[in-house]
Structure 1
Amino acid sequence: MSDATQTGSEFVFIYTPLPDMGAAEAMARALVDARLAACVNIYPGIMSVYEWKGEAETSVEVVAFVKTRRGLVDETLAAMRKLHPYEVPAFLVLPIEGGNEDYLTWARGQVKS
């Protein structure tokens, strides 16, 4: 990787599906306002197929990718749990292996130290 690209970033994504854009946007705004997320990407129209309470289910959901510091994961997950409408939400923490330094510098300035 070039000098302009950092590897081994201190940032992670927290992936979570939500029932609709309203729930996703409310969570995203709360996390950004609390400086727990630099940015939240929301993807509409995701089809989920799963079993819930013994029944096969198919749902159209939205997925949020929360960009935060690795050191803020526990605090961010606690905030997300309070905001999430699902009984058993999926919160998957995914490493960000690197990225362009100018973006990462910006992201550092958006979240708590």
Structure 2
Amino acid sequence: MTAEYWEMKFSRTPIVRTVDVSHNSITLAWSAPVMDRTITAYQFMVRKGDPSGPQVPIDVLADTNSFPPYRHVIASLTPKTVYYIQVRGVDSDGDASNWSRQQVYKTL
């Protein structure tokens, strides 16, 4: 998919979209941020029930060889619970992009 599909400009911040929400998982798709080096991983920060909770990346996607839109399932979530999720890319030198805008989801 192209930048026109996402209706955005390339930036250092991933643009995140929801693909699916179930009782115990959330599937995300995002555009890759523009970085000086190849992105080798994506980190996902998930806060359960509190938008200002601990800022610790809890999930990492190391396989970035697929074509956009990139997708990932965040699983083992609690039903009927609010989650705040952000995504960022990490390059081969360990430099990270900006975190995406925080998205709010509620599992079914």
Question: Relative contact order, CA 8 A, sep 6+: which one is greater?
Answer: 1
The structure in which a higher percent of residues are helix is 1
Q: TM-score range by the shorter chain?
A: 0.3 to 0.5
What is the TM-score of this pair, normalised by structure 1?
0.32
Greater gyration radius:
1
TM value normalised by structure 2: 0.33
